[in-house]
Amino acid sequence: MATPSVRRSHQSSRTQEPGKSNSLPLASRRIAAWAVEMTLVVTSGLVPFGMGAYANSRSDLNRVPLNPLLVQTERAIARPLALPVSYGTRNVAWPTNLLWTIALLAPLTVSGWQLYMLAKTGSTPAKHQLGIKVVNAEGKAPGLKATLVREGLGRWGLPMSVAYFLWHNSFLFPSLGAFTSLVTIMLVLEARGFPWQQNRRALHDKLAGTYTVDATKPLTPLSQRQTQGNQSQWTEKDEEEAIASIVITKEEPTQQPKLWQWTRQNPNYTLLGVAVLSMSVVLAVLVSTQIYIQILRNQRATEQRNSQQFLALTKQLNPNSTATDTERQKAILAIGAIKDSQAIQYLVDLLSKETNPILVQTIQQALVEVGLNAIPDLKRMNQFLTGELEAGKSGKASPPEVLQKRLQANQYAISKILNVDDDKSNTLDLSNIHLGQNSSGQSSFNLVLDKRDLWGIKFKAANLSFGSFKGSRFRGVGNDGRWDTYDDWIADLSQAKMTQANLTEASLSRVLMIRTDLSRATLNKANLVNARLTGSNLSSAQLEEANLQGAVLENVSLTGANLSNAQLKDADLYAARLGRVIAVGTQLSFANLTKTDWQGADLTGAYLDHSNLSHANLNATRLANAVLRSANLENANLRNADLSLADLRGANLKGADFQGAILTPGKQNQTEQFVQTPTLGVQSAVVEGVDFTQVKNLDAKQIAYICTQGGFHRSCP
């Protein structure tokens, strides 16, 4: 049992320190102090984060790759919370890197400072102002160790661990709202203590051996309280008020553990138990050893038997063998059935040398039976033949025609395996593999993987030109069976060559396509939501009705591409090249189009409301009927652009160049001094209420039209 060593006197319970308020109950002040502490921590992170987000929206700042510390932190947080991760290269404004790093470190610094103050003084600044103090059993500051146990383990560690376990193993996973609710409930229950506890002491205080007391009511030693006991009588209410600040000293345990007492009282039984346990352990070790030895013997026997069978079969495939084609086919299929590494390697090498079409098909069939285990050896041979073919063009290797046929046989084998075992291919690495056609057009191989599950495969720097992937899925749900979580199987197509590939209706959401060559590719109705296409080449690509919401398209080339009716809401096209793009009816609301080049593009009827077009080049673009409400066109080049019937209400036109821009819906009579008034029903939704006072290179007719349609300019009456 613990005994009280300090108690508050009747007189002292009525006193207060100067400047301290005791109008609120202790529990209310504890909640208020905790709220202030958390507000300081959160604010220290949100303020620099908000400043960084604002800096990132500025177009006049240089962009640099995101700080690796921030990238690793994001991934470390995303894994336990099952959040999707923004993989790949991300560029941000240079101040953003600094500010977001501060946003990461500042909360840690503020938390550490508050913990240090609590450990050394028993109060944080918030607790001090509200008259709260944390003490140990001796009435002193708790110290660093007790503080870490109290805050790290008791207050946060255990409640969040329980909440996470319940959340992760229930139907609520992966809803972050549900997790937040569970954490809140656990924190409240932990702070209130258990109902059956006397005085309902918080769990974190019990674990750390600390007490939260009212600092406005000073404590007096027990001896002094006894001396003053004759002078005043305590009431029951006074006793209850004093309970909250009782300081407890721990007594040393006087009883030995029951198990130790029993072992000392019964030594014979103890020795017998130890002997039985030791014999059981020895017997278990002997049995396990024998089982392990037997397994090894069986494996060696199997390997030896397979080796003998393999040697016998390879003799029939020797060039000097007299075996018929039928016998050779049977031998090839038998070798494929062995399925060990030696047999797979032999078949792959044989495929690159065999010239008989019948035997080539049989070898491919055998490799298909082997399945995905044959891919590593096929990839090795594929890369070797590709290198030899490139060297053969300069006369340093075998004739290109021979190498081309060998490469085609290899490509067909890989293609057949992927078509058969696509559902198990999420861990394949096909980086730098050649599964496309040569630029010379001599190859007759055409990769066809339509409606296949290609999620998780690494096609990094692979040649997939002219391949067909119609309706194929490059992203899967992962092992947890849920979308948009950390373990989603996402293919990597970075730096891949996919010239003229057919990706119609393919699922490429969140797929990595950094610096991928997709020139003249077909991506109609493809799902590219949140895909990473930084620096990719999409020149002359077909993207009609494709979904690119939230996609990252920084520095991409879309010259001559068809984006008609595509969805690019919230997409990031910073510094993208979009010359001569067809974007009729394209959805570009809230998109980042800073420093984009649209020269000669057709944006008829496009939705550009709330988009950022600052410093964009819209020279000679067609923007008839385009929606530009609340768009940022600061310093944009709109020379010779067709803005007839475009909706510019709420747009920021500061510094925009309107030289030669067409604002009227039709050709005007040149003999008139002012622009003709449009017909009824057309005049209202063009420039009404728009500020043109800082627009550059407006001519008299443009100004007249602006004034007559409700726009603002210095020359308007």
Answer yes or no: is pLDDT of 84 > 90.
Answer: no
Grade residue 268 by pLDDT with cuts at 50, 70 and 90: confident
Contact 486, 82 (CB under 8 A): yes
**Cβ-based neighbour number of residue 176 at 10 Å:** 13
pLDDT at position 71 is 84
pLDDT at position 248 is 45
Highest mean pLDDT among 82-86, 517-521, 697-701: 517-521
Query: What is the separation of C-alpha 84 from the centre of its chain, rounded to a whole number of angstroms?
Result: 4
Grade residue 350 by pLDDT with cuts at 50, 70 and 90: very high
Instruction: Report the alpha-carbon distance of residue 282 to residue 289 in Å, rounded.
Output: 11
Answer yes or no: is pLDDT of 448 > 50.
Answer: yes
Count CA within 13 A, CB hemisphere, residue 452. 23
Grade residue 9 by pLDDT with cuts at 50, 70 and 90: very low
**Cβ-based neighbour number of residue 717 at 10 Å:** 3
What average pLDDT does this structure show over 26-52?
A: 91
Residue 60 CB contacts under 8 Å (≥ 6 apart), including other chains? 615
Question: Got the DSSP string for 287-338?
Answer: HHHHHHHHHHHHHHHHHHHHHHHHHHHHHHTSTT----HHHHHHHHHHHHHH
Instruction: Quote the mean pLDDT of the chain.
Output: 83
Answer yes or no: is pLDDT of 225 > 90.
Answer: no
What average pLDDT does this structure show over 528-548?
A: 96
Contact 691, 653 (CB under 8 A): yes
Per cent of the chain over pLDDT 90 is 48
**Cβ-based neighbour number of residue 621 at 10 Å:** 30
pLDDT at position 161 is 92
Answer yes or no: is pLDDT of 523 > 60.
Answer: yes
pLDDT in tens, 253-264: 555 567 777 777
Answer yes or no: is pLDDT of 576 > 80.
Answer: yes
Q: 498 or 72, which is more confident?
A: 498
B/e letters for 320-345, b = 16+ CB within 10 Å, e = fewer, are eeeeeeeebbebbebbbebebeebbe
pLDDT at position 315 is 83
**Cβ-based neighbour number of residue 671 at 10 Å:** 5
- 129-133, 163-167, 266-270, 687-691: least confident range: 266-270
Per cent of the chain over pLDDT 70 is 84
pLDDT in tens, 147-160: 999 999 989 999 99
What residue spans define the domains of the chain? Answer: 26-81+89-128
Highest mean pLDDT among 21-35, 561-575, 681-695: 561-575
Closest CA to 131 of 201, 72, 213: 213
- 57-61, 428-432, 555-559: least confident range: 57-61
pLDDT in tens, 24-38: 788 888 889 999 999
**Cβ-based neighbour number of residue 642 at 10 Å:** 21
Grade residue 672 by pLDDT with cuts at 50, 70 and 90: very low
Claim: this prediction has a pTM higher than 0.85: no
pLDDT in tens, 313-349: 888 888 777 888 898 899 899 988 887 888 899 999 9
Instruction: Report the alpha-carbon distance of residue 85 to residue 79 in Å, rounded.
Output: 9
Grade residue 230 by pLDDT with cuts at 50, 70 and 90: very low
Answer yes or no: is pLDDT of 232 > 70.
Answer: no
pLDDT in tens, 369-404: 999 999 999 999 999 999 888 876 545 557 888 888
pLDDT at position 262 is 76
Find the distance separating the first CA and the last CA of the chain, reported in whole Å. 91
Tell me which H or E stretch contains 30: helix 26-57
pLDDT at position 397 is 55
- 167-176, 468-477, 595-604: least confident range: 167-176
Grade residue 200 by pLDDT with cuts at 50, 70 and 90: low
Q: 219 or 112, which is more confident?
A: 112
Contact 498, 518 (CB under 8 A): yes
pLDDT in tens, 117-147: 999 999 999 998 988 999 988 888 999 999 9
Count CA within 13 A, CB hemisphere, residue 594. 16
pLDDT at position 366 is 93
Phi, psi of 428 (to 5 degrees): -70, 145
Q: 315 or 650, which is more confident?
A: 650
Query: What is the separation of C-alpha 575 from the centre of its chain, rounded to a whole number of angstroms?
Result: 24
Instruction: Report the alpha-carbon distance of residue 283 to residue 305 in Å, rounded.
Output: 33
pLDDT at position 21 is 47
pLDDT at position 470 is 96
Answer yes or no: is pLDDT of 507 > 50.
Answer: yes
